[in-house]
């Protein structure tokens, strides 16, 4: 009892001091110019199961997957790579044949989704959703010519939240992918965040879910999006990685000529592989060098004019890499203009676009209005030691955070 009273007293005193300071002072897109030149930053998100968080990326046109090592950290697999609890099934992801990765299927897994700023800090609260998750089986259960080939398959699956998260409504919010231009025209600042559903997007593009079970064990999930490349109509598949690709044959037909070479990095290669677009198994230790060129992209919308983008960089992939010679893959650098955000709505089959709204730090509760409710929300977080109260980002919650919040609150928002 003594310990409880002491803790309560400390907390109460802390609340009084913070409240006094607050009362005295008071009297939360993708890139157009990116592509092969800019793959380094994906759209970051945290994935939490229980009390453990791992870093991941967003792929609104794919499935939710956990890497082999992250599945161990999050408690779905034991140290030997076997499910701690019986899996709900098995499926093979990726490739159009022998390149597939055998995975466990876990249904109704509760994960917390934590949007992230480009620097890795949290952007708003984490929100929980119950989804299906795919986890690669251990190397000994994969098919391959040798142990190294089997290990590459297991390790090709990265941690990412897919369409069942990006397209879902979570606590009245949608997960948005943001791109903000920087001084470097070839590198944008990528982040994820939440948007309330009462925020009306300005433009909407139709998408179509494409489920392909061509050999009964491979599940391919992507979204088809009508577009024009260099003025010619195409039906593309969209992924949220910042990389766009086109077959060599189609590139020639559309007048996309090589202007240089660039490396297709592991994460983007994995997105193509697990999306069923290529049979070439990615190797984390060896990037693939490909030609690239540029094309003008127009996205067809439901209402209003097409969405025009600046010339987009496309990897030009040879037949050995991209078996479908009519394939066009639009990454985040192609279908969202700079300084915009976007979110997919599974219920309507529309991809929603809106100008990127820079979060206001003082809007602590995220209701788009700065008022005393934000003060109360900050106080509650501060007194409970919530990490969100680390307002100045120095990893310590103390009175300096109160001062930082006060300054932001008094400055207001534009």
Asked whether residue 310 falls in the same domain as residue 389, the answer is no
Asked whether residue 253 falls in the same domain as residue 336, the answer is yes
More confident site: 360 or 234: 234
Question: What's the rounded mean pLDDT across residues 163-176?
Answer: 88
- Rounded Cα distance, 359 and 408, in Å: 12
Domain stops at, among 305, 327, 355: 355
Asked whether residue 273 falls in the same domain as residue 398, the answer is no
Q: Is residue 54 part of a domain?
A: yes
CATH of residue 239's domain is 2.40.70.10
Identify the pLDDT of residue 242: 72
Count of domains for the chain: 3
Q: Is residue 156 part of a domain?
A: yes
Report the SS3 class of residue 38. Answer: coil
Asked whether residue 192 falls in the same domain as residue 219, the answer is no
Identify the pLDDT of residue 35: 58
Structural domain boundaries enclosing 411: 375-414
Q: pLDDT tens, 55-72?
A: 999 877 678 999 999 999
Q: Does 126 score more than 80 pLDDT?
A: yes
DSSP per-residue letters across 194-234: EEETTS--SEEEE-EEEEE-TTSSB-EEEEEEEEEETTEEE
Share of the chain above pLDDT 90, in %: 33
Identify the pLDDT of residue 221: 54
Q: pLDDT tens, 1-30?
A: 333 333 333 334 444 344 333 333 333 223
Identify the pLDDT of residue 31: 32
Identify the pLDDT of residue 80: 97
301-327 as b/e, with b when 16 or more CB fall inside 10 Å?
Answer: beeeeebebeebbbbbbeeebbbbeeb
Q: Is residue 82 part of a domain?
A: yes
Question: Which range in 6-15, 81-90, 96-105, 304-313 is most confidently predicted, on average pLDDT?
Answer: 81-90
């Amino acid at each position: 009892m003594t310990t409880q009273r002491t803790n309560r007293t400390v907390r109460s005193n802390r609340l009084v001091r913070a409240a006094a300071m607050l009362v005295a002072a008071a009297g939360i897109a993708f890139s157009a110019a990116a592509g092969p030149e800019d793959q380094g930053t994906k759209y970051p998100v945290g994935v939490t199961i229980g009390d453990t968080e791992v870093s991941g990326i967003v792929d609104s046109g794919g499935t939710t997957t956990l890497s082999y090592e992250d599945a161990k950290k999050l408690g779905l697999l034991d140290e030997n790579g076997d499910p701690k609890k019986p899996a709900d099934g098995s499926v093979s992801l990726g490739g159009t044949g022998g390149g597939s990765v055998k995975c466990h299927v876990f249904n109704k897994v509760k994960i917390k989704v934590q949007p992230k700023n480009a620097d890795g800090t949290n952007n708003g609260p984490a929100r929980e959703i119950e989804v299906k998750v795919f986890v690669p089986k251990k190397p000994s259960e994969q098919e391959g010519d040798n142990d190294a080939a089997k290990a590459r398959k297991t390790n090709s699956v990265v941690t990412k939240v897919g369409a069942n998260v990006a397209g879902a409504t979570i606590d009245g919010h949608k997960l948005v992918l943001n791109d903000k231009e920087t001084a470097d025209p070839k590198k944008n600042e990528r982040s994820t965040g939440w948007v309330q559903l009462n925020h009306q997007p300005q433009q909407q593009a139709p998408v179509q879910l494409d489920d392909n079970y061509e050999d009964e064990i491979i599940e391919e999930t992507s979204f088809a999006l009508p577009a024009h490349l260099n003025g010619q109509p195409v039906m593309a598949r969209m992924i949220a990685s910042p990389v766009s690709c086109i077959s060599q044959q189609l590139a020639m037909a559309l007048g996309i000529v090589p202007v240089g070479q660039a490396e297709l990095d592991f994460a983007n290669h994995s997105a193509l592989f697990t999306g069923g677009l290529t049979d070439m198994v990615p190797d984390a230790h060896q990037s693939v060098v490909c030609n690239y060129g540029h094309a003008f992209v127009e996205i067809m919308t439901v209402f209003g004019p097409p969405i025009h983008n600046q010339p987009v960089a496309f990897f030009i992939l040879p037949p050995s890499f991209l078996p479908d010679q009519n394939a066009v893959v639009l990454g985040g650098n192609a279908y969202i203009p700079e300084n915009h955000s976007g979110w997919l709505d599974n219920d309507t089959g529309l991809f929603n676009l809106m100008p990127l709204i820079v979060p206001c730090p003082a809007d602590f509760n995220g209701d788009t209005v700065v008022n005393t409710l934000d003060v109360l929300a900050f106080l509650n977080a501060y007194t409970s030691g919530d990490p969100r109260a680390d307002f100045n980002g120095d990893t310590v919650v103390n009175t300096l955070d109160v001062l930082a919040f006060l300054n932001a609150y008094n400055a207001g928002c534009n």
